[in-house]
Structure 1
Amino acid sequence: MEIGITRDAIAATERLIRPHVRRTPTLALDPAEFGLAAGALHVKLEFLQHSGSFKARGAFAHMLGRAVPSAGVAAASGGNHGAAVAYAASRLGLPARIFVPTVASPAKLERIRAYGAELVVGGDRYADALAAMEAFAATAGVLTVHAYDERETLLGQGSVGLETEEQLPEVDTLLVAVGGGGLIGGIAAWFGGRVSVVAVEPAEAPTLHRALQAGRPVDAPAGGVAADSLAPRQVGGLMFPIAQRHVARSVLVADDAITAAQRLLWDRLRVVVEPGGAAAFAALLSGAYRPRPDERVAVLLCGANTTAVDFGR
């Protein structure tokens, strides 16, 4: 693969970041309990990762694999990437400045502040935060850590695929939520077509779906209930050729299906995930993806930075 997102590179990155990230568990479920006829159903609990999402993997891949100047790091984020960069920077003793749009959830803003990063909030969407971060970085002498369209990001997120294969070697299909595509790009590069990787996006933010239809990254709507994690303007240029080769299918889920998945995960498993973290599971529950009766399916639950459950009552 000409951009260097190879299995060997992912494995080397996984070894580099291993002391700094959690090996998140998987959980076997009864498909019938969720109205499914699949042969097996597992969820990978990646929301248990440091900072509340898979993004910590890519953040550490940048800061451990690249030279970081004394000025530190800067990142633009809908929230989860910013929290991950802030967490990794705090653990490694580096200054960080995080740019987020106004759509970012309060839970994610609180996490970024708690990790000691300087937080800059402005603009309506991720693209606005990215522009502000790039303007700052042009003169600040910082290392920029891209949320999804940089080699180290894909290599770090690809470690989720490596880990999942070690834990669930018999899986046929893995459902993955998609925003900018760093996660599914790294995972699809790891599996290389040996497992059917299915992309799941909100219908209000069909970024990869439209790109695959057009044959190139194109602008897409950036709205919906998961707009703070799954709604960039375009998917990344680095992940797109990987998706063309190794993502088996792209499906869309409605906002009400995502919130229904959140509620059901809480009701049945006592698992709290954010809308973006529930999107992949929503594809199963809503019928957007229908497994074969003998299909062994895994679903990545990728983020839980939300205040959806009120524990004060």
Structure 2
Amino acid sequence: MQWKSDIKAAAERIVGHVQKTPVMTVTGFGLDYPVELKLEHTQHTGSFKARGAFNTLLSCDVPAAGVVAASGGNHGAAAAHAARALGYPAKIFVPEMAGPSKIALIEGIGADLTVVPGEYANALALAQTYEADTGAMQIHAYDAPATVVGQGTCFAEWDAQGLQADTVLIAVGGGGLIAGALAWFQGARKVVAVEPETSCALNAALKAGEPVDVSVSGVAANALGARRIGDICFGLAQGMQSVLVNDDAITEAQQVVWREHRQLVEPAGATALAALMSGAYVPEPGEKVAVLVCGGNIAPDPLAT
């Protein structure tokens, strides 16, 4: 694929449908160097996922049966939002581990929602069955070219905003977001994958030399809990650095980003920052680092009534 040109085309395609999210350079977090943050948790429905959902729907013919998506929560909300905005019916499957906050978000958008026992893989299996039975179009959460290209627009936008970093740290679940980063940067910047120790599909695949199934659990599993890394991501990720963080480090980063900078982020949104705070990734002297803050749908919702 011509990834870079496709991402540029997608960026033009989704203008007016997604937010241009802010960037800020901050100090603190117990670090002795500044960190540039891209605040994708301020995107529509609280995560970067709206980019891939809108790009998918705007780049193809949607059948009368509408769309179907399986999600740990954030992708389902984004797919439901994009479908509603463009006038298509949406069927969303999420696992119970999505949690009440994300389930309520999807219900509030108005999609036809089914909550599935177990984890994301269970929801995906039912979504695939629904697709086969009804003819609805699947909006894959991470392993589809239109999704990856849509997520890549985040990094094209960041570059246009004056990104100065040598290295960008990105949390990984199924791999759509980091695949978009790799497709856009193409080695111009170092990209570091950050995963929870208990939900680490990319790290396991890189060690095994091929995608493998992993067990998923932990505080960020409802966003980063893919059982198996996407093939597109795996193909783009060869030779990249992958680091792991534990739940305590993720929770600490989540608390500190609120305490010091008044940004409410979910555990997945704090995972990449946790790699810096915990020392899982240590920059070289003078290395400029940036973190993609990917999601803000925390549970429980502190302002829910």
Indicate how the Cα distance of structure 1 residues 5 and 307 shifts in structure 2: closer, same or farther if over 3 A, else same: farther
Q: C-alpha deviations, 1:198-220, integer Å up to 9, x for none? A: 00000001110011111111111
Gaps of at least 5 residues in structure 2 are none
Deviation at 1:312, TM superposition (A): 7.8
Contact kept, 8 Å, 1:105 with 1:306, in 2: the verdict is no
1:162-177 maps to which residues of 2 (within 5 A)? Answer: 162-177=156-171
Partner of residue 238 from structure 1, selected from 218, 227, 232: 232
1:195-210 maps to which residues of 2 (within 5 A)? Answer: 195-210=189-204
Distance in 2 between residues matched to 1:164 and 1:197, nearest whole Å: 14
Contact kept, 8 Å, 1:154 with 1:183, in 2: the verdict is yes
Deviation at 1:43, TM superposition (A): 0.6
Partner of residue 47 from structure 1, selected from 41, 46, 49: 41
Q: Which amino acid aligns with 2:195?
A: E
Deviation at 1:5, TM superposition (A): 5.5
SS at match of 1:193: coil
SS at match of 1:262: helix
Partner of 1:97: 91
Partner of 2:29: 34
Give runs of ≥4 in structure 1 deviating > 4 Å: none
Q: C-alpha deviations, 1:48-79, integer Å up to 9, x for none? A: 00011000000001100011011110000000
Partner of residue 144 from structure 1, selected from 138, 141, 153: 138
Indicate how the Cα distance of structure 1 residues 5 and 219 shifts in structure 2: closer, same or farther if over 3 A, else same: farther
Partner of 2:3: 6
SS at match of 1:194: coil
Whether 2:210 is the aligned partner of 1:216: answer: yes
TM-score, with structure 1 as normaliser: 0.94
Contact kept, 8 Å, 2:69 with 2:79, in 1: the verdict is yes
SS at match of 2:154: helix
| Root mean square deviation, CA, Å | 1.4
Deviation at 1:35, TM superposition (A): 2.5
TM-score, with structure 2 as normaliser: 0.97
SS at match of 1:13: helix
SS at match of 1:99: strand
Deviation at 1:112, TM superposition (A): 0.6
Partner of 2:266: 274
Partner of 1:293: 285
Q: C-alpha deviations, 1:107-155, integer Å up to 9, x for none? A: 1111111111000011200000000111111111111100000000000
Distance in 1 between residues matched to 2:247 and 2:162, nearest whole Å: 29
1:153-164 maps to which residues of 2 (within 5 A)? Answer: 153-164=147-158
Gaps of at least 5 residues in structure 1 are none
Distance in 2 between residues matched to 1:308 and 1:48, nearest whole Å: 18
Partner of 1:71: 65
Deviation at 1:311, TM superposition (A): 4.4
Whether 2:180 is the aligned partner of 1:186: answer: yes
Distance in 2 between residues matched to 1:294 and 1:244, nearest whole Å: 26
Distance in 1 between residues matched to 2:232 and 2:290, nearest whole Å: 25
Deviation at 1:308, TM superposition (A): 4.5
Partner of 1:264: 256
Partner of 1:133: 127
Q: How many pairs are equivalent?
A: 305
Q: Which amino acid aligns with 1:29?
A: V
Indicate how the Cα distance of structure 1 residues 312 and 135 shifts in structure 2: closer, same or farther if over 3 A, else same: closer
Whether 2:33 is the aligned partner of 1:19: answer: no
Deviation at 1:41, TM superposition (A): 1.4
Partner of residue 303 from structure 1, selected from 283, 295, 300: 295
